[in-house]
Amino acid sequence: MEFTAQQVAQLINGEVVGDAQQKINSVCKIDEGQLGGLAFLSNPKYTDFLYSTKASVVIVNDDFQATASHTCTLIRVADAYQAFTKLLAFYQAHKPQKTGREEPCFVHETAKLGKDVYVGAFAYIGAHVVLQDGVKIYPHVYIDENSHIGENTVVFSGAKIYHDTQIGKNCVIHSGAVIGADGFGFAPDEKGVFQKIPQIGKAILEDFVEIGANSTIDRATMGETRIMQGTKIDNLVQIAHNVVIGKHTVIAAQSGVAGSTKIGDHCMFGGQVGVAGHLQIADGTKIAAQSGISKSIKQKNSILQGSPALPHLVYNKAYAYFKQLPEIDARLHHIEQSTKKNGETKDIKE
């Protein structure tokens, strides 16, 4: 597909500065620009690349002021990052869409497939599965019996959907993800041998949920594990049984949430965050990477860091002292030695 700078500007409500008829046939990063490429600039750290990029057109914020000459055409918008995201979505929507069945694949006779469904080679669609209109099932996907997948959801190669799982509309399940596996439930008997607790609940993903590659969403022991509308989960994330995650929450890679924890709406977890079980996390909570949450967070819009986690500002103050501990220890040792030389033999630490 090929567009002019003016056509792109019309799509994103932008103003062209330069050649409005400049041709665009690809998208690129500003630091890896190429002729015919469309890039964007929103992070000030990348400003210098604007003056050397080979990209033909660059989307910038309204308040951007060039301080040197450049060869690219600019498109000014209110928010360059959001505008570029909108363009990528437009590009994705206009790519040719797969439909039909590739052979060999297995589709059980009781399964129900809507219009324009795609089933890739070697996929398995079990008994009483429902795939609504526009669902895309890529090769080597496994979908077990009684599962339901909503309109326009995409399940990429190698994902596994266990029985009785419900997935809403416009979701994306990336390769290697496992939805609906048994929760980690075991109880010791009188001999101390761990016996499995049957996991008879469900895993439910609401509309516009995205699950990253090799992430796992466990089914509930009883009841449901639920990921609410618009939530995005990164790669290599573990969500345990009976967890509930609210709307429009984002969780970055290598994080883990233990069983029965309830997470609110619009929360943000950095990478490698660990959350203990049976906790309540309030709406709007932000947790920095590698933090550990061992207690419920009841205050909305809290910002936490550390393990165990502290309020962000408290953590920064404490860490400032922590970094000085070797120096403080040396000063105390010097004071102690000076005191002893002056005839005071009593240890000042007593």
**Secondary structure string (H, E, C) spanning 6-22:** HHHHHHCCCEEECCCCC
Question: Does pLDDT of 39 surpass 60?
Answer: yes
Same domain, 245 and 121: yes
pTM for this prediction: 0.83
pLDDT in the model for residue 285 = 97
DSSP 171: -
Same domain, 241 and 209: yes
Question: Does pLDDT of 343 surpass 70?
Answer: no
Query: Residue 47: phi, psi to the nearest 5?
Result: -60, -40
pLDDT in the model for residue 88 = 85
- The model's confidence at residue 350, banded by pLDDT at 50, 70 and 90, is very low
- Give me the amino acid identity at 347: D
Same domain, 195 and 280: yes
Under a CB-based contact definition with an 8 Å cutoff, are residues 150 and 168 in contact? Answer: yes
Exposed, middle or buried: residue 248 (CB in 10 Å: 0-12, 13-18, 19+)?
A: middle
Question: Does pLDDT of 112 surpass 50?
Answer: yes
Instruction: For the chain, state the CA radius of gyration.
Output: 27
- In the block, residue with structure tokens 């500002």: 313
Under a CB-based contact definition with an 8 Å cutoff, are residues 46 and 31 in contact? Answer: yes
pLDDT in the model for residue 213 = 98
Written as six digits, the tokens of 98 are: 């797969």
Same domain, 181 and 292: yes
Catalytically annotated residue among 241, 266, 312, 333: 241
Same domain, 240 and 344: no
Order of strands across the sheet with 172-173? 100-101, 118-119, 136-137, 154-155, 172-173, 210-211, 232-233, 250-251, 268-269, 286-287, 303-305, 310-311
Same domain, 217 and 251: yes
pLDDT in the model for residue 140 = 98
Q: Of 34, 60, 93, at which residue does a domain stop?
A: 93
Same domain, 226 and 346: no
pLDDT in the model for residue 348 = 47
Same domain, 50 and 160: no
Domain enclosing residue 243, as ranges: 101-312
Under a CB-based contact definition with an 8 Å cutoff, are residues 171 and 208 in contact? Answer: yes
Q: Of 93, 125, 152, at which residue does a domain stop?
A: 93
Question: Does pLDDT of 304 surpass 80?
Answer: yes
pLDDT in the model for residue 309 = 85
- Give the number of domains in the chain: 3
Same domain, 239 and 210: yes
Same domain, 7 and 116: no
Same domain, 138 and 8: no
Domain at 269, CATH number: 2.160.10.10
DSSP 231: -
Question: Does pLDDT of 127 surpass 60?
Answer: yes
In the residue annotation, 94 being an active-site residue is answered as no
Between CA 290 and CA 298 the distance in angstroms is 20
For residue 109, the SS3 value is coil
Domain at 30, CATH number: 3.40.1390.10
Same domain, 199 and 324: no
